[in-house]
Structure 1
């Protein structure tokens, strides 16, 4: 029987069929265009002779990048486009967030488009809390990550795993390894019961910045594509303690000075895609970085 999560109790929530799969297709098409641009840049440099145009979305990157997996962990800027904007603002996501973040919230500017390559230890993440990456000053904020698979995921291709209730443990000490992945100096497996999360395209999984989660090796021959998007409260629309406000301000002002928020619920007006793109360019976010230069 599938585990039923409660966000307040478990620090996480699984919502099946939150986003119609076809609503993810424009983002996937944009990524496919980026993969094609990357293939052509490799061929122009003489690094490959076959651009593998005939291979489907989950398989083409594998064929193009055997032996170069270290360059492919995040496709953030080169995946930026109106398809990504539409996913960030999708009503199926905002409906799920409203009971958790309250009447005023938005996208906080932080997201990751991730290709998990076959048998890549570099894209397998040990148990961690997102606040371990952000820093101790973030621990009293409420940052909700929405994790969205762009292909069907299960334990074979390294689906997400979560430790329900771990948000109540507080922030535990972690340290980056040589691969830059965070490692916690506690035996997390002995502290609770891990729950693997097989998901289909269109499902979403929400968890807090203190909820322990991980993903293991992708043991298939295809890329496990996913995107994770982060949302937070609009401070002037909530009554929060000084401690919480300090953590929220740390996240907004110190960690993300060149990012652009998108208000999604509350009094503030949501920018259009063109307006948001213009703000990102003005902030020097790296939006216009090309595939060819990103992985040269």
Structure 2
């Protein structure tokens, strides 16, 4: 099959090194410079720090993809100054840690899942337009807009199963082992790194009317664990897959908090309003590729997403191997060990099996401490 992608609105055949637009062919400088690079057939990824990746289905052109920038980033540990800032403030933004190449397989896999779901909705008469020519981060928002605001069950169905433990995509599992991610994590956790079972991918869709789906209130991550985790140092790494600011749902944090505040279950697990710290919140404006490191005691929440695209983000938590996770019925996973490299749990099949067993065991179990 001739692979076709798109740059700046023009369909480009990689085999022929020609662009074809409305029957008119012209030479493609992108093909000549080999900047249009295969990531995971039949997909193409975008570059130049664009947040979008689009599926290329067999025999169909999906418009909107741009050439990926082959930007190699050498894994870099945190400096002592950065480590000190993390412990003093309870958070630190690691700038430019990840490249487009790190995200490409993950986005490609989710593109396929979402495309299948959208086509199922169309076949069932639930939506009218596939929006197949919209970029990845915008397409899901356009589909969401076609569902009535009061049809909460259908909106939930659209998003259901996309989280890490339900989708169980190979690309997600591979992402966990990214050196550009684990190297700065090691600066906080040490060389024996375990991935907590509290791990999520979230498509934070734009606000509709007065409703912001999936909005999380002020909370501390330690508050959504069982008490057993209070002896563990747990590092939250929040990873935006798109550029984020106050308009598109970036996180805001309250620095300097070092102890657990009392939470309540009402309104979602949240800090009791009268216990909220007086410190001024800080908006964590971030670019795709940045990492937000947070202590488990740092209060945070997401701004309302008032943009026209989905704020895709990943939420991972790391801790020293062998320490309690606070989520005992779900599987932790050893990602790195310099003391015992053979202990690393790098089997995708095992990861899937343990999640399937853990989800079954965890049915009906209260996972938060409140």
Higher helix content, 1 or 2 = 1
**Contact 1:107–1:264 at 8 Å: present in 2 too?**
no
**Contact 2:197–2:325 at 8 Å: present in 1 too?**
no
CA distance in 2, matches of 1:11, 1:128: 14
* Number of aligned residue pairs: 264
**Contact 2:177–2:335 at 8 Å: present in 1 too?**
no
Partner residue of 1:144 out of 209, 225, 235: 235
CA distance in 2, matches of 1:38, 1:181: 30
**Contact 2:333–2:345 at 8 Å: present in 1 too?**
no
- Structure 1 residue runs of 5 or longer lacking an equivalent are 236-247, 287-296
Determine if the alignment matches structure 1 residue 259 to structure 2 residue 331.
Answer: yes
| TM-score normalised over the length of structure 2 | 0.65
Quote the residue 1:104 is aligned against. 192
What are the superposed Cα offsets for residues 237-280 of structure 1, whole Å, 9 maximum, x if unpaired?
Answer: xxxxxxxxxxx4362xxx24242413313324323343444543
Compare CA radii of gyration and give the structure with the larger one: 2
- Structure 2 residue runs of 5 or longer lacking an equivalent are 1-81, 361-370
CA distance in 1, matches of 2:297, 2:333: 21
Q: Note the C-alpha offset of 1:171.
A: 0.9
Change (3 A) 1:136 1:274: closer
Determine if the alignment matches structure 1 residue 174 to structure 2 residue 263.
Answer: yes
Determine if the alignment matches structure 1 residue 249 to structure 2 residue 324.
Answer: yes
What are the superposed Cα offsets for residues 104-162 of structure 1, whole Å, 9 maximum, x if unpaired?
Answer: 12212321000111114332222210121214443332111111111111111010111
| TM-score normalised over the length of structure 1 | 0.80
**Contact 1:30–1:83 at 8 Å: present in 2 too?**
yes
Change (3 A) 1:187 1:121: farther
Determine if the alignment matches structure 1 residue 161 to structure 2 residue 234.
Answer: no
What are the superposed Cα offsets for residues 194-233 of structure 1, whole Å, 9 maximum, x if unpaired?
Answer: 1111111111111121111111100112111100111111
CA distance in 1, matches of 2:330, 2:216: 26
Structure with the bigger RCO (C-alpha within 8 Å, sep 6+) is: 1
Return structure 1 stretches of 4+ with deviation > 6 angstroms: none
Q: Note the aligned Cα RMSD (angstroms).
A: 2.4
